[in-house]
Amino acid sequence: MKYLIVGIGNIGQGYLHTRHNIGFDVLDHFAANNNLIFEDVRLGAKCQLRHKGRIYHFLKPSTYVNLSGKAVRYWLQKLKIEPANMLIVVDDLNLPLGYLRLKPNGSDGGHNGLKDISTTLGLTNYPRLRFGIGSDYSKGNQIDYVLGKWSHTEWEQITEPIKTAGEIILNFGLEGIEKTMNRFNTKP
């Protein structure tokens, strides 16, 4: 059983620890806690973990958020993994800060990374873990908000959910999406 876990984010120091890069932060935290090291590969950075008979391939695309589909398609094909065994970790403005929502499919919800993945793959039927970044911005400032860095207080609020996201990733491979949703999804 093989799984592709994709953290959505933008490469480069200027984007480090921004709200839009929570997918990268989740994967970086998971990798650090499991002594995994990301290596630069075609269209991204990748590492893998063998755990209880499963192989988890972790990918941070280098194609920037809005063009994530190219890297996702390439690695799904190269690793011969079905979209049902892929999990996209992505920021979500529509969820309160730190809330996690695992879904088996759905719309892009206005997220350009999910939109590009769906367009490139030609489907919306793939699992995604949405990480709430809140929506504490004034009208017209959405781009500045998602590309902005976490405040110290916000970072403290998301530390535990980042750890929980790692548990969700492992559980997704071990028990499947339905059981994982029942176990981890909570109402905001």
Please list the active-site residues: 20
Q: Which of 105, 132, 111 minimizes the C-alpha distance to 186?
A: 132
In contact, 131 and 23? CB cutoff 8 Å: yes
- Looking only at the bridges linking them, the beta strands covering 39-41 and 2-7 are unpaired
Cα 80 versus chain centre, distance: 20
Q: How far apart are CA 180 and CA 51, in angstroms?
A: 17
Q: How far apart are CA 46 and CA 61, in angstroms?
A: 9
- Give the CB-side neighbour count of residue 151, counting CA atoms within 13 A: 8
Sheet holding 44-51, edge to edge: 39-41, 44-51, 54-61, 2-7, 86-92, 128-132, 100-103
